Amino acid sequence: MACTNNEILETFEAALAQLRVPEEPELLYMPIIYSMSGGGKRLRPVLLLLTTEAFGGSIEEAMSAALAVEIFHNFTLLHDDIMDNADVRRGKPSVYAKWGGNVALLSGDAMLISAYKYLARISSDVLPRVMNIFTDMALEVCEGQQYDMDFETISKVSVEEYMQMIERKTSALLSGSAMIGATMAGALEEDVKKIYRFATELGLAFQLQDDVLDSYGDTALGKKIGGDILEGKKTYLMVQALNRASAEEREVLCTTHRRTDISDAEKISIIKELYDRLDVKRIAEQQIELRFERALAVLDTLSIGGERAATLVEFARNLMGRKK
C-alpha cells in the first residue's frame, strides 16, 4: 500500500529532525539549522520520495537524496535573500536580516556543500547518474535566478523568455527531484524522461498560479496582495500585459510602481485595471490549466501504469490547491 502525501511528509520531517551540524563555528552552522527548521512545504523531498515509491524504490534509501534537495532549496533561499535584499522569509527574519550578508553568504555555501554530503550517501551504483541530475538541476536554478535578475533591467521580455526563466527557476528543482526519485528506484529511462515532463509542466502551472495569486489572491488568507506590482516585478501577468499593451499603456505598466504621488492601493488598482483590460488574467488561467492537464496526462503514459502514480496525482492537486 503506497504512502499518502501526508505520511511521506511526516517521514521526511522525522528524518530532517535528526539533521545534525557541528556546533562551531556557530555563525557558519547555526543559520543552517535556523533555515532548515523554519518550515516550508517540503515539496521537493516529498515529490522525490513519492516518485521513488511509485517506481517501487525504497523511501529509506532515497532519504539522504531527499535531504539533499531540501538543503539545496534552502541554500537558494539564503542566497536569493541576499540578492533580493529580503528581510523576511516564511514570516521570520531572513538569515540575511538576522546575521547579515556575509553570514548568509558563507552559511549558504556550507549548505550547498552539505547538500552534496547527503547526496554522497546514496548507493554508489546510482551515485554518478544522480549527481549529474542534481548538478544540472542546480545549475539551471542558478541560470533561472540570473535571468530573473536580468529581466529587471530589460524593458522587453517575451513570454517565451519568461517561461524559459521559470522553467529553470521553479520547475528545475521539482523535475530534478522527481527524476532523482525515479532513478534511485531503477525506473526505465523513458519513464525518467516522462517524470521530468510531468514535474516540469506542474512546476510551470505552480509558478504561473503563484504569479496570479500575488495580484488576485484571497486577502482572507492573510497574504499581502499586490507585492509583485509594487516591486515592479516582471511576472507572467506583467510580461503578457507589456506584450499586448499600446505604447501609452506600456508606459503606465512600467512606471506606476515608481510613482510617489499616489498610494500603494491606487498603484495596485491602476495596474490591475490594465491587466483586466488586456485580459491577461484569463490568459494566465488558461495557461495554468493547460500545463496542469499536460502534467497529469503524462502520468497516464508511465510504463508502471496510471494507478501506481495516484500519489503523484494527489501531489499535483495538493500543490495547486485543488480538490479534484
Among 2, 105, 254, 290, binds a second copy (CB under 8 A): 105
Beta-carbon contacts of 32 under 8 Å, excluding residues fewer than 6 positions away, are 21, 107, 110, 111, 114
Is the Cβ–Cβ distance between 8 and 43 less than 8 Å? no
Pairwise CA distance, residues 106 & 85, whole Å: 16
Is the Cβ–Cβ distance between 45 and 59 less than 8 Å? no
Q: Does residue 28 bind a second copy (CB under 8 A)?
A: yes
Pairwise CA distance, residues 210 & 291, whole Å: 14
CA distances 120 to 64, 185, 232, Å, are 8, 17, 41
Q: Does residue 219 bind a second copy (CB under 8 A)?
A: no
Among 83, 86, 262, 297, binds a second copy (CB under 8 A): 83
What is the 8-class DSSP label of residue 226? Answer: T
Q: What is the CA radius of gyration of the chain?
A: 20
Residues 120-139 binding a second copy (CB under 8 A) are: 120, 124-125, 127-128, 131-132, 135, 138-139
The minimum distance between CB 20 and a second copy, in angstroms, equals 13
User: Residue 300 carries which side chain, given as an amino acid letter?
Assistant: D
Q: Does residue 27 bind a second copy (CB under 8 A)?
A: yes
Q: Would you say 46 or 103 has its CB closer to a second copy? A: 103
Task: Please give the grid coordinates belonging to residue 258.
Answer: 515608481
The minimum distance between CB 310 and a second copy, in angstroms, equals 34
Q: Does the CA dihedral 203-204-210-216 come out positive or negative?
A: negative
The minimum distance between CB 116 and a second copy, in angstroms, equals 5
Among 102, 158, 255, 301, binds a second copy (CB under 8 A): 102
Q: Does residue 10 bind a second copy (CB under 8 A)?
A: no
Q: Does residue 154 bind a second copy (CB under 8 A)?
A: no
The minimum distance between CB 209 and a second copy, in angstroms, equals 25
DSSP SS3 for 92: strand
Under the rule (CB under 8 A), what is the footprint of a second copy? 22, 24-25, 27-28, 79, 82-83, 101-102, 105-106, 108-110, 112-114, 116-117, 119-120, 124-125, 127-128, 131-132, 135, 138-139, 142-143, 145-147, 149-150
